[in-house]
Structure 1
Amino acid sequence: MTATPPMQSTTLPSARRRPDPGGVRVTVAVPTFRRPDDLRDLLPRLLEQVAEVAAGGRFTAQVLVVDNDPAGSGSAVAAAVPGVRYVVESRPGIAAVRNRALDEAAGSRLLAFIDDDERPCENWLGALLATWEDSGAAAVSGRILAEYPGPVDPWILAGRFFVRRRMPTGTEIDVAATGNLLLDLDQVRAAGTRFESALGLAGGEDTLFSRSLAHAGARMVWCDESAAVDRVPAERTTRRWVLIRAWSHGNATVLTELRLTAGTAARLRVRARGVLRGLLRLGGGSARWALGRVSGSARHQARGARAVFRGLGMVGGALGVVYEEYARDGRRWRLGRVAPR
């Protein structure tokens, strides 16, 4: 398939032009995989948020759990919470789960994603919906706040690796993560955008999805009032995990560019740029790490090391090395051809 050609945003339906009679239907989707305890804590919180937005009469909402465990490990938890709809998506990978949520929300105008290990802050959903009403955007992205299970390596804190971006509400963005994201499904369907299953185990499917949506002419905006707390598990607060994640992000950056690019010559240019940019990051990161060693700055050491691994990931992606962060067979690294969309 060829890359999706750019379109003008005026070709897509807007929130203002397509009001839904009797209230706008909203589906709140929770992708999950073998985290029943997290799910047990999250679902009542989501039902409170759904009840709050429904009380105003402008919205009707439901909670949907999409379980990627073929054994249905989350079924008993979901069944114990009245008002929650539960489905199993047996195809492995987060992209398959998110696409299943898109399909299950066929009768809804809006779809909000929140991860099973996150917790919504007060007015999380209401703030997303208010920004959507004000902006008419195809996607509204909110903040993620990190919460640690205990003491954290000072190196991790110095690098600020779990501190996410924030900006004024209404700021236009061109890429968004899906941990706290509201989608206008009318506009998503008009753009023909779905999550790429080929990246379902490698990560970066949310980057490709949002960038594809932007390429189709859809607007995406920020909502700073909407926040969800990411409960960072202890196994992720290690230097090894942070550096491998940096490699994975660098890898996904180049793979996303390749999938958005059509034509052999153009894709070769993307690969060449990926190698060059990766080497520049590697060199710059090495210099910053060395500066940190000399000056005793933990921040420079940490950020420099991450830049090195991100650069290596970009070079790897340009040369055809794919890192499957969520692989379930233990095989994380592979050589593969990334076909264009």
Structure 2
Amino acid sequence: MIDPNLITIGLCTYHRQEVTDTLDSLTKIVIPEGKQIQIVIADNSVDANSKALIESYADQSPLAIHYLHAPASNISIARNACLEWALNYSQYLIFLDDDEFVVKNWLCAHLDTAQREQADVVIGPVLGMYPEQAPEWVKALDLQSVKEPIISPNGKIETANSGNTLINLDFIRQHPLRFDLEYGRSGGEDSIFFRQLTMQGGTIAFSEQAEASEHVPLARTEYNWLYQRRFRCGQTHGKMLLLDNPSTFNRLKQIFLAGAKAGFSYVYTLRFINQETSQKYFWKLRVALHLGVVSGLSGKQHLTQYGSNH
């Protein structure tokens, strides 16, 4: 039975002990009068790696926590498991990553924005917290933070990620969208999902007060990891360009534009070739992004970044 006053918070986890830190932060949030929350955690590991940890935590927690085993090594399977669960109980599902922690008024901000703007989706900022050993250029570029949405030329938010995102499940009941398994090991499944939602008439709003933060692992501050990440983001963007217009003409046009942007970005890196500045790495990662767009438009297989322990 669907309870309009029950909000489901969905966490997808994979070999990550920090999920209990996320749960700790959720015990401190303000819950609006008349509302209740439940937490569903989808464990995406083959061996149900987090089951004992989560069930032990749940036994001692005031939170209503439900564990799901949703294998294996494909984040879309876990996201869909949370979605299917929430559809049976709630009007709203809020996805939160298993290494994030939230501010006290996080839930209130999400709900206030959804109701005030009559939005089908609300996204909040995610602030990256970097280890002291991280390179200074990484801290300067702050690529792990999502501080504001990307606004399309028509003035609307047309896609989102799922790191700190509310979904009005009434829209999903009318438009049975699911996260695509094809992108479940590469990432980008959330961008595709929310782009399909807006293409079917859904609306996305942004709540600056619905803030989450995350500790960035040192491994994710390495240049090679960031390069692959930007390349994969480009691949996803290329796929979304074809969602809008799958014609051969549009594909060739977008490949030409992305290739030209990659070339321009590469030339710009030469200005900083003998300098260790954030601008040098900014333009090098722009090259990766645009090359990824070319790859996505060309139908190449996405890079696999999900499924490792970091």
Whether the TM-score (by the shorter chain) exceeds 0.5 is yes
Q: Decide which of 301, 306, 310 is 1:322's aligned counterpart.
A: 301
User: Does 1:289 pair with 2:269?
Assistant: yes
Matches of 2:189 and 2:23, distance apart in 1: 25
In structure 2, how many angstroms separate the alpha carbons of the residues matched to 1:273 and 1:93? Answer: 32
Partner of 2:152: none
CA-to-aligned-CA distance 1:284-328 (integer Å, 9 cap, x gap): 21122112337x471321111011111211222222222232355
In the TM superposition, residue 139 of structure 1 has moved relative to its aligned partner by 0.2
Residues 28 and 112 in structure 1, CA contact (< 8 A), matched pair in contact too: yes
The answer to whether the 8 A contact 2:180-2:189 is kept is yes
Query: Does the Cα contact within 8 Å between 1:158 and 1:298 map onto a contact in 2?
Result: no
Deviations 1:48-82 (A, max 9, x none): 32xx315x11x221011111013111111221224
In the alignment of these two chains, the number of paired residues is: 297
Structure 2 residue 242 is the aligned partner of structure 1 residue 247: no
CA distance in 2, matches of 1:41, 1:179: 16
Structure 1 residue 259: deviation in Å? 4.7
Question: For residue 92 of structure 1, what is the amino acid of its counterpart?
Answer: S
Unpaired runs of 5+ residues, structure 2, are: 150-154
Please point out which of 264, 274, 288 is paired with 1:309.
288
Paired-residue identity, %: 25
Alignment counterpart, residue 234 of structure 1, candidates 218, 221, 225: 218
Q: Distance in 2 between matches of 1:27 and 1:163?
A: 24
Cα gap change, 1:72 to 1:177, in 2 (>3 Å):
same
Shift, 1:189, TM fit: 2.2
Query: Are residue 217 (structure 1) and residue 198 (structure 2) matched?
Result: no
For the residue of structure 1 that corresponds to 2:185, the secondary structure is coil
Cα distance change of structure 1 residues 131 and 210 upon mapping to structure 2, 3 Å threshold: same
For the aligned residue pairs, the C-alpha RMSD in angstroms reads 2.2
The whole-number CA distance in structure 1 between the counterparts of 2:163 and 2:276 is: 32
- The answer to whether 1:113 aligns with 2:113 is no
Tell me the equivalent position of 2:50: 74
Alignment partners' CA distance in 1, 2:177 and 2:198:
10
Match of 1:34 among 10, 15, 23: 15
| Paired residues of 1:291 and 1:300 also in contact (CA < 8 A) | no
Instruction: Provide the C-alpha distance between the structure 2 equivalents of 1:251 and 1:109, rounded to a whole number of angstroms.
Output: 33
Taking the aligned partners of 1:279 and 1:271, their CA distance within structure 2 comes to 12
Corresponding residue for residue 11 of structure 1: none
Question: Separation in 2 of the partners of 1:314 and 1:21?
Answer: 41
The secondary structure found in structure 1 opposite 2:67 is strand
Unaligned runs of 5+ in 1: 1-19, 330-341
1:88 is the counterpart of 2:72: no
Structure 2 counterpart SS, 1:63: strand
Aligned residue runs from structure 1 range 144-155, under 5 A: 144-155=126-137
Partners of 2:121 and 2:203 within 8 A in 1: yes
Greater alpha carbon shift after TM alignment, 215-224 vs 188-197: 188-197
SS for the counterpart of 2:28 is: helix
Tell me the distance in 1 between the aligned counterparts of 2:160 and 2:202.
13
Q: CA deviation at 1:182?
A: 0.2
For residues 192 and 23 of structure 1, what CA distance do their matches in structure 2 show?
19
Name 1:99's counterpart in structure 2. Answer: 80
The answer (yes or no) to whether the contact 2:130–2:139 under 8 Å persists in 1 is no
Q: Could you tell which deviates more after superposition, 275-284 or 127-136?
A: 275-284
- In structure 1, the partner of 2:169 is 185
